[in-house]
Amino acid sequence: MKRNRIIFAILWILSLVGISFFGGPVSYGFFACLTFVPIFSLIYLIFVFTFFRIYQELDGKNLVANHTVPFYFTLMNEFHFGFCAIRVRFFSSFSTISGLDDGITYELLPKTGIQKQTNLSCKYRGEYEVGIKSVEIQDYFRLIRISYHNKETLRVIVKPNLVDLSELKSIDLSQTMARETPFSQMDPDVLVRNYEPGDDIRQMNWKASARSGQLLIRKRTGEERDGVCILMGTNRCSEEMAEYLPVENKMLEVTLALALFFAKKNIATHVYYQAGGIVEKGVSGLEQFDAFYEGLCNVEFRSDVSESDFLAQAATRAEIFRCKTLFLVMHEWTEAALEMLRLLRENNVFAIACLVRDELPENLAGAKQPGMELVQIGTEDDLTEVTP
């Protein structure tokens, strides 16, 4: 286009020189034709804009990240003249369309169209636009280019991908799930009763015994629980969609992959996250997993939610300290995370901190502690290769 404009400018200047020095009908005619070319080109582009149509369709609106679905689009010329140069641009930040290059220029004959069928895949969980983003049209002489946003975009809801893990590298499953967990000293659901022969001495409440002058044993009144707990932060890390979508997608992907791994082994898994207050969703087998997955797909990440506040609230939940293994799925490394890990260690709960971010934070020094594992997971990492 730049070359055509330069050539046109040179010709128009020569025609202007011609009528200035030579005159005559030929010179004036040549000058008039060149002067009206941009006007005719602009009128032509107005007709293209008016009579050009885009039709696009997806097989369904509810998609799953990293799964392909059929994608169709049609470019239609509803005018009596041919359209010479039409180029479509696709949304490419969060989705990919296989086999199509948005640099292709299409030519449409009068009253005809071009239909394309391919596949589309979305990278991240969330709600955003996919398909054709904008259209670029040019005139026959390649002098004027007009680009405009497609008014009929496709907006989709994308669910997180479900990764089937074959193993967990950070824990010995048989030993971890068999380990006994003592009562938490801060458990509000623990009462005491008189000691009876045969009671487990590890459940003795020595402080209460000293105060009363007789042996007292801890008696739990709440629900006896074991299995696995997952604490997932729901803080939105940025206002920019390009920054928060990859993080939120990977955090949900990690949480769901862990829950599926334990559900296949019929090990109860309880996921906690913040949504106003602390919300719990549980699953103990594959027969319950579909409903669990649908519920977790709707988790909302918000900028007014703090991972530190969430962990501080979770530390008051006695049932969390009765699990055998606990996973922290976070994107920040805070003092609240260190305090939670300390409490878990005191209650003999093995902890695995999954830090979802592409770069390690500066305050990570000294984070590794006995009785815990720390795993960094990048937003584009394959979980089958970087298992917690």
Of residues 223 and 313, which shows the higher confidence score? 313
- Same domain (yes/no): 251, 317: yes
The residue among 5, 9, 325, 250 whose CA lies nearest residue 143 is 5
The residue among 216, 170, 211 whose CA lies nearest residue 194 is 216
Residue 130 included in any domain: yes
CB 215 within 8 A of CB 194: yes
- Same domain (yes/no): 202, 140: no
Cα separation, 121 vs 300, whole angstroms: 22
Q: State yes or no: pLDDT of 373 exceeds 90.
A: no
Query: Which range (102-111, 128-137, 205-214) has the least confidence?
Result: 205-214
| pLDDT score at 258 | 94
Q: State yes or no: pLDDT of 200 exceeds 70.
A: no
What is the tens place of the pLDDT at every residue in 31-40? Answer: 888 889 999 9
| pLDDT score at 61 | 72
Q: State yes or no: pLDDT of 206 exceeds 50.
A: yes
Residue 57 included in any domain: yes
| pLDDT score at 186 | 40
| pLDDT score at 192 | 63
Name the E strands within 59-205.
62-64, 68-77, 83-90, 95-97, 105-108, 113-122, 126-130, 132-138, 145-149, 154-159, 190-194
Of residues 224 and 30, which shows the higher confidence score? 30
- Same domain (yes/no): 6, 120: yes
Q: What is the DSSP string of 315-372?
A: TT-GGGGGSSEEEEEES---HHHHHHHHHHHHTT-EEEEEEE-SS--GGGTT---TTE
Q: State yes or no: pLDDT of 183 exceeds 50.
A: no
Q: What is the mean pLDDT of residues 362-385?
A: 77
Q: State yes or no: pLDDT of 60 exceeds 80.
A: no
What is the tens place of the pLDDT at every residue in 355-371? Answer: 999 887 766 655 566 66
- Same domain (yes/no): 231, 213: no
**What's the distance, CA 367 to chain centroid?**
27
Q: State yes or no: pLDDT of 42 exceeds 70.
A: yes
Cα separation, 191 vs 182, whole angstroms: 14
Q: State yes or no: pLDDT of 221 exceeds 60.
A: no
CB 144 within 8 A of CB 48: no
- Same domain (yes/no): 111, 79: yes
How high is the mean pLDDT of the chain? 84
What is the tens place of the pLDDT at every residue in 330-344? Answer: 998 888 888 898 888
- Same domain (yes/no): 141, 257: no
Q: What is the mean pLDDT of residues 52-79?
A: 90
Which amino acid makes up residue 274?
Q
What is the tens place of the pLDDT at every residue in 141-151? Answer: 888 999 999 98
Q: Domain of 58: which CATH number?
A: 2.60.40.10
- Same domain (yes/no): 41, 145: yes
Residue 385 included in any domain: no
The whole domain housing 265 covers 173-181+226-377
The residue among 138, 147, 149, 148 whose CA lies nearest residue 2 is 138
Query: Which range (131-135, 281-285, 301-305, 382-386) has the least confidence?
Result: 382-386
Q: What is the mean pLDDT of residues 249-256?
A: 95
- Same domain (yes/no): 6, 141: yes
* The token pair that represents 167 in the structure block: 């193993």
What is the tens place of the pLDDT at every residue in 158-171? Answer: 999 999 988 887 66
Cα separation, 268 vs 220, whole angstroms: 20
| Tally of structural domains, the chain | 3
Cα separation, 331 vs 245, whole angstroms: 12
* The token pair that represents 79 in the structure block: 């005018």
Q: State yes or no: pLDDT of 59 exceeds 90.
A: no
- Same domain (yes/no): 32, 57: yes
Q: State yes or no: pLDDT of 256 exceeds 60.
A: yes
* The token pair that represents 290 in the structure block: 């579909």
Of residues 327 and 179, which shows the higher confidence score? 327
Q: How confident is the model at residue 310 (pLDDT cuts 50, 70, 90)?
A: very high
Residue 201 included in any domain: yes
What is the tens place of the pLDDT at every residue in 286-298? Answer: 999 999 999 999 8
What is the tens place of the pLDDT at every residue in 274-287? Answer: 988 899 999 988 99
- Same domain (yes/no): 1, 128: yes
- Same domain (yes/no): 63, 101: yes
Of residues 256 and 322, which shows the higher confidence score? 256
pTM confidence score: 0.77
Residue 186 included in any domain: no
Q: What's the full length of the chain, in residues?
A: 388
Query: Which range (47-56, 63-72, 94-103) has the least confidence?
Result: 94-103
Cα separation, 328 vs 292, whole angstroms: 19
